[in-house]
Structure 1
Amino acid sequence: MQEPAPAVRSGGIVGVLAVAGIVAALVQTLVVPFIGEMPHLLGTTASNASWVVTITLLVGAVFIPVTGRLGDLYGKRRMLLLSSLPLIAGSVICALADSVVPMIVGRGLQGLGMGMIPLGISALRDLLPPRKLGSAIALMSASMGVGGALGLPIAAAVAEQTSWRVLFWGVSVLNVLVTVLIWRLVPPTPVQASGRVDLVGAVGLGTGLVCLLLGVSKGADWGWTSGTIIGLLTSAVVVLLVWGWWELRTGDPLVDLRVTARRQVLLTNMASLLVGFAMYAQSLVVMQLLQLPEATGYGLGQSMLAAGLWMAPGGLMMMAVSPLGAQLSAARGPKTTLLAGCLVIAAGYGSSTVLLGSTWGLLTVVCVINSGVGLAYGAMPALIMGAVPLSETAAANGFNTLMRSIGTTVSAAIVGLVLSQMTVRMGGYTLPSENGFRTTMLIACGVAFVAALIITALPSSRPATASEPEEPTPQPVEAAA
């Protein structure tokens, strides 16, 4: 018996999915303000405590492409609801944790839910009319920046005034609320693909990504020339090559590499990796500059909470520019918007050469860079979805999100390497030097310019809604939960 199609209220759908994206991004940054205190809080070493951050990144990278494929096969709404469950469970486990092992387990479960954002973006294509799609995608993409920006000051304030456990209880409640809103307000989405889940491909991709990201993220701690790091990076190359061979030969691949190799998809993913690098570099540099003591001559002596508040407007700028990006994409195509975003990012980093000496100067740098990120993040899904069939939108968006995550991981490694090599001694401590920070900003500026050059090689794109069919072919719809 077929249920009548629910009335689609575009504003409610976009609002709910944007909130889901903000909460998912909030989860990622939740522990950053008090990671330095984690060894004391959980009775462990600093090395073990670092896994509280690393495990979420690794699990998210492995499962984002998998949840995307499952969304194509079984419906995006269903997978959105299922993705919220580990976010809730992980948050509760973290809130109750009294040692590092349950905390790592909880953070790993939270990583399982990181596919909420690409799933939400893909669901928009199924649920919204073409004329509203561009602005909705831009808003949904900007939710990542808003969640990350709000997470820093909120987490710092709560941890200073109450207990760090309150953070996880609060996120648990937020995720329950998001789950209820998705269940009530987001209608079932069409099932766009058929076939089976490529378990061999999922295991292969997961293994390769764990080796790659673990090697990159731990290289500075374990030594880039150590046998462990060399072994991990070598294994990553071998496993991913074998995985690619398998994906080209299986009938139902986890990631259709032939589609991924299309010029528009390939170049957009390459640019996404570089934009992810550029986006993350400024947060690493600016947070340190804000908190370093004024006695260094370049630090600004801000508290953790104050530093988070100075960073927050940058994330809000991503949300503010999303409507402008959508209008530009509608008029000139998402290629133009992505190119403009990369050039704005480069301009923001370039301005840092004269603006690093004050809090207001750093605020300006952060806002300019994040404005460019907002333009770029809003255009990437439009370019991807304009080049892949409806049956692969969630998987393709998940892979694009994965490329951004790899970019942020590489960014953390490169920034850490540069700052560890360019140091000064002060008061018995070794600190990153001013030249180290400036060099990092110039590297990120160059990366943004390279991304812009890659984008110029993209085929000319039509307005963002042009690729959407006016009369979509009826598709099976997932059963309402």
Structure 2
Amino acid sequence: MTDTAADARTKVTGGPLVPALMFIALVVAVVGSLGAPLITEVADAFDVSLAAAQWTLTAPLLVGAIATPVLGRLGTGPRRRQVILATLATVVVGSFLTVVPPSFGWLLAGRVAQGAGLGLTALMMGVARDHLPERRSASTIALLSVASTIGIGVGYPLAGLLTDVSGLRAAYGLGLLITAIALATAWWAVPQPPPGRSVAVDVPGAALLGAGLLALLLAVSQTTLWSENPVLAGALLAAAAVLLAVWVRRERRCATPLVDLTLLRHPAVAGANVTMLLGGVGMYLLLTLVTRYVQTPEAVGYGFGVNVFVAGLVLVPFSALGFAGGKLVPPVRKRLEAATVLAIGGAVVLAALVVFALARDRLWLAFAVMGLLGLGVGAFSAAMPGAILAATPPEETSSAMSFNQVVRSVGFSTGSALGGLVLSAHTSSGASFPTESGYTVAAWAGAASMAVTVVISLVLRRTAKARLP
């Protein structure tokens, strides 16, 4: 597509395509994160256990991971606009169910429906690549990747504030309001894809991948499973390995695969996904460690005993500097390859983990660590699409990036689980809180993951200019 054609198509859609895409990506990220700061309030409001309330966060993340590759494949076809609108409509319905739930079951059903929206970011990237000039599409895709992460830092403090001021329904009401606006925005601004495309969804392949991801994410996200029923946890991992192996075998033989695995043979694409997996572990591990640490009562001997709202404010530097890091990447990319920027972003996250491991006795240090983490995550996330799309045909943008989003979800879930397991191992029998040394061990574990990520990114520089066979 020429820049002229892209410009013409953008003018037909009404002009402000980039703000619309950014808003939609930010909305689905914010809605996906609404469950985290509200778990305790949900347990109290519906008289359920904390473990049950935790599913208001886990369920949408699982649904998002399963829906992402399917939506990514649908997004390569001629009905991408319809898929985006239908998915957002599903999210709006889910948001309505969270606001007026007669029971915990209806609330959970609403959160499940909201989870479908987490697969939309890759489709927004496909729209940007199809309908914007090459230079502008690259910077927009980079910021879309960042928005899907920094939305977490936006959702936490807003949900905490609304819950403190007006109660649980006000927090979920925010989700209903912004998703309805996102649906209207998509209806107005998202154009039809270029003509001449066709798509066939491999339904059996989607079922295999969905089942495999469900088993894998359940095994890595349910930390108590490993201590209470290790046999079941091991069985889930084994089932995930078998299902995903069968899926790979099918995809390699399928005429219309759900994910074009031939792209993964390219060293740049494969390396980028590996760095996303390992980087996701370190990034999300630190995010969960800091938010849990600052809420620990001071009587335990560490922590600051802050409420949900203040804990959410700790994430504001994460979002602000994450956005700044993402904005810095496009001009830097004129001088450096994407793999080099990935290494730089990973090194900044590594520095944040080291700082937290060594110094965390002041509340301002938590803000500083989260700002440093946001800067690294922003740069890392913004550079990731460039590393993948350099070796990806334009029509496969949504599919390739949806696979990367799934890899990121697995990395995030693994990081969260790793942090939980380490802290659990440092919690004495009968105690409610781990010893402070648990946070140190967990932080160094995350640092090790990020160190490997940086090394792989540096090695990846040598293959960044390779071409598909």
Shift of 1:139: 1.8
Distance 2:65 2:149 in 1: 18
- State whether structure 2 residue 418 is matched by structure 1 residue 378: no
Of 443-452 and 397-406, the range deviating more from structure 2:
443-452
Are the aligned partners of 1:339 and 1:456 in contact in 2 as well (CA < 8 Å)? yes
- State whether structure 2 residue 459 is matched by structure 1 residue 457: yes
Go from structure 1 to structure 2 and tell me whether the alpha carbon gap of 1:188 and 1:194 turns closer, same or farther (over 3 Å shift).
closer
Question: Partner residue of 1:445?
Answer: 447
Question: Partner residue of 1:78?
Answer: 82
Distance 2:195 2:414 in 1: 35
Runs of 4+ in 1 over 6 A off after TM superposition: none
Superposition map of 1:271-290 within 5 A: 271-290=275-294
Go from structure 1 to structure 2 and tell me whether the alpha carbon gap of 1:8 and 1:195 turns closer, same or farther (over 3 Å shift).
closer
Once the two structures are aligned, what percentage of the paired residues are identical?
32
Distance 2:184 2:407 in 1: 30
Go from structure 1 to structure 2 and tell me whether the alpha carbon gap of 1:47 and 1:288 turns closer, same or farther (over 3 Å shift).
closer
Shift of 1:452: 1.0
Shift of 1:44: 2.6
Question: Partner residue of 2:100?
Answer: 96
Shift of 1:219: 4.1
Per-residue CA deviations over 1:280-310 (Å, capped at 9, x if unaligned) read 1122111122111223332112222112112
Question: Partner residue of 2:221?
Answer: 217
Distance 2:415 2:310 in 1: 24
Shift of 1:193: 4.3
Q: Residue 182 of structure 1 aligns to which amino acid in structure 2?
A: A
Are the aligned partners of 1:279 and 1:370 in contact in 2 as well (CA < 8 Å)? no
Q: Which residue of 238, 248, 251 maps to 2:255?
A: 251
TM-score (norm 1): 0.91
Distance 1:249 1:145 in 2: 34
Distance 1:433 1:379 in 2: 37
Does the residue aligned with 1:111 lie in a helix, a strand or coil?
A: helix
Go from structure 1 to structure 2 and tell me whether the alpha carbon gap of 1:254 and 1:434 turns closer, same or farther (over 3 Å shift).
same
Distance 1:433 1:308 in 2: 23
Go from structure 1 to structure 2 and tell me whether the alpha carbon gap of 1:78 and 1:382 turns closer, same or farther (over 3 Å shift).
farther
- State whether structure 2 residue 137 is matched by structure 1 residue 143: no
Per-residue CA deviations over 1:160-192 (Å, capped at 9, x if unaligned) read 111211222221121111121222223322257
Distance 2:339 2:14 in 1: 25
Q: Residue 248 of structure 1 aligns to which amino acid in structure 2?
A: R
Shift of 1:275: 1.7
Are the aligned partners of 1:134 and 1:329 in contact in 2 as well (CA < 8 Å)? no
Are the aligned partners of 1:135 and 1:327 in contact in 2 as well (CA < 8 Å)? no
Distance 2:264 2:343 in 1: 20
Shift of 1:90: 0.5
Superposition map of 1:38-77 within 5 A: 38-77=42-81
Go from structure 1 to structure 2 and tell me whether the alpha carbon gap of 1:6 and 1:403 turns closer, same or farther (over 3 Å shift).
closer
Distance 2:104 2:136 in 1: 45
Does the residue aligned with 2:319 lie in a helix, a strand or coil?
A: helix
| Structure 2 unmatched runs, 5+ | 1-7
Of 441-450 and 37-46, the range deviating more from structure 2:
37-46
Distance 1:380 1:78 in 2: 27
Shift of 1:225: 5.1
How many residues get paired?
460
Are the aligned partners of 2:127 and 2:190 in contact in 1 as well (CA < 8 Å)? no
Go from structure 1 to structure 2 and tell me whether the alpha carbon gap of 1:47 and 1:323 turns closer, same or farther (over 3 Å shift).
closer
Q: Which residue of 418, 422, 427 maps to 1:423?
A: 427
Distance 1:400 1:309 in 2: 29
Question: Partner residue of 2:123?
Answer: 119
Shift of 1:34: 2.1
- State whether structure 2 residue 259 is matched by structure 1 residue 237: no
Shift of 1:391: 2.3
Of 134-143 and 320-329, the range deviating more from structure 2:
134-143
Distance 2:196 2:304 in 1: 53
TM-score (norm 2): 0.93
Go from structure 1 to structure 2 and tell me whether the alpha carbon gap of 1:375 and 1:167 turns closer, same or farther (over 3 Å shift).
same
Q: Which residue of 31, 37, 44 maps to 2:41?
A: 37
Q: Residue 458 of structure 2 aligns to which amino acid in structure 1?
A: T
Are the aligned partners of 1:355 and 1:362 in contact in 2 as well (CA < 8 Å)? no
